[in-house]
Amino acid sequence: MNPLVDLPLVVIGALSLLAVTVVGAVWSRRSERGAWLLRAFMVLLLAAIALRPGLGTEPVPTSAAQVEVVVVIDRTTSMSALDWDGRRSRLDGVRRDLTDLVGALPTGRFTVVTFGRRVATELPSTQDGSLIADTLALIGRERPFAGSGSRLDRPLKTLTDLLDQARQRAPDRPRLVVLMSDGENTNRQAQASYADLAAAVDDGLVLGYGTVAGGRMPADEDQPDSGWIQDVRTGQDARSRLAEINLRAVAGELGIPYLHRTTPGGLDDVAAAWAERFRHSDPAPGGEVPVALELTWVLALALLLLVLVDLRRHWRRLLDARRSLS
C-alpha cells in the first residue's frame, strides 16, 4: 500500500463518515435504510482508495551515486623513467589510467593533486571530462634535482584537508582516493602513516608505476633520446626503481587495493565495481514502493457504480415528486 495521506487520517476520516451513515440509518425511515447502507459501502470504498492497494511489488529503480575521487599524482623526476608499456614514461601511464577511470566513472567528481618538492591542487572537484583531460596534458615532471628528496607522504596534509572539505560539502557522497606513484622515498626520513585517513575513505586504489629492474630518466622530457639524467655518485645513467613496499604500506593503511601498472587497460572493471557498490535506490515520491498491479482503479469504478445507483434513486424520487405535483 501507498496511502495518499497518513494512515491515521484515513482511519479517522473513514470512522467519522461511517458514524454519520449509522446515525442516518437509525434516524431514517425503514425504507431509507438501504440507501444509508449503500452510502456506508461508499465510505469503505473511499477509504480503500485512499490506501492505494496493489498486488505484488516491482524492483525499486537504482542509479549510480555521485562519488568524490581525489587523485594524487607523483610528478617527481623519477616518474619520467621510461619503463611503462615498453619505453614510455610512467607519467604517460598515469595519464592513460586516469583517463580510463574518468571515462568509466561518469558520476565521479575528480579532484587532481600533484606532489614533488611541493604539493598543488591542480584541479578542484569537477565532472568536466574535457577539463580533466586538459589538466592531465599539462602535468609534467618537475625539473631534475629541483626537489629536496621525494617523499610518498608529502601530500598527506593536503589530502586530509580535501577529504574533510568533501565530507562537509556532501556528507553522504562516497569519497575515493587514487594515489599514483612509483613509491620512491629518496628522503631518508621515515614515511608517515596514512592510517588516520582510513575512516574518511570509502574506497580507492594505490597504483604503482615502474619496474624492479628500473628505468632511465631522460634529461629532456620532450626529447627522450637526447641524453639521460646522471647519477652524481657514479657518473652513470641514473635508474629509478619501483618501491612497491612503500605503496603497499599506504594501501594497507587506507584499506584500499594496490595494483602494479605496467601496461594500459584493466581499470574498467574497477570503476564498474565502484559504480555497483555505490549504487543507490532512486527515491519514489513520498517514499512509495512501486507495485506490480494497482487496484485503485477497480475500487474507483465500484465507487462510481454505487454513486450512479444512489443518484438514480434520487432522480426517481424527484421525478415522482414532480408527477405528484402536476
Q: What is the tens place of the pLDDT at every residue in 233-281?
A: 888 999 999 999 999 999 999 999 999 999 999 999 999 899 888 876 4
Phi and psi, residue 306, nearest 5°: -65, -40
- Minimal CA–CA distance to 253: which of 113, 175, 156, 117? 156
Q: Where are the domains of the chain?
A: 7-57+286-325, 63-281
For residue 325, what pLDDT is reported?
Answer: 75
For residue 128, what pLDDT is reported?
Answer: 93
For residue 64, what pLDDT is reported?
Answer: 56
Rounded Cα gap, residues 211 and 240, in angstroms: 8
For residue 32, what pLDDT is reported?
Answer: 79
Rounded Cα gap, residues 323 and 320, in angstroms: 5
For residue 285, what pLDDT is reported?
Answer: 47
Which grid cell sits at 76?
A: 617527481
- What superfamily does domain 63-281 belong to in CATH? von Willebrand factor, type A domain (3.40.50.410)
For residue 212, what pLDDT is reported?
Answer: 93
List of residues 6+ apart from 138 with CB closer than 8 A: 122
Share of the chain above pLDDT 70, in %: 89
For residue 256, what pLDDT is reported?
Answer: 97
Residue pair 71/114 in contact by the 8 Å Cβ criterion: no
Q: In the chain, which stretches have pLDDT less than 70? A: 1-3, 54-65, 145-149, 280-293, 326
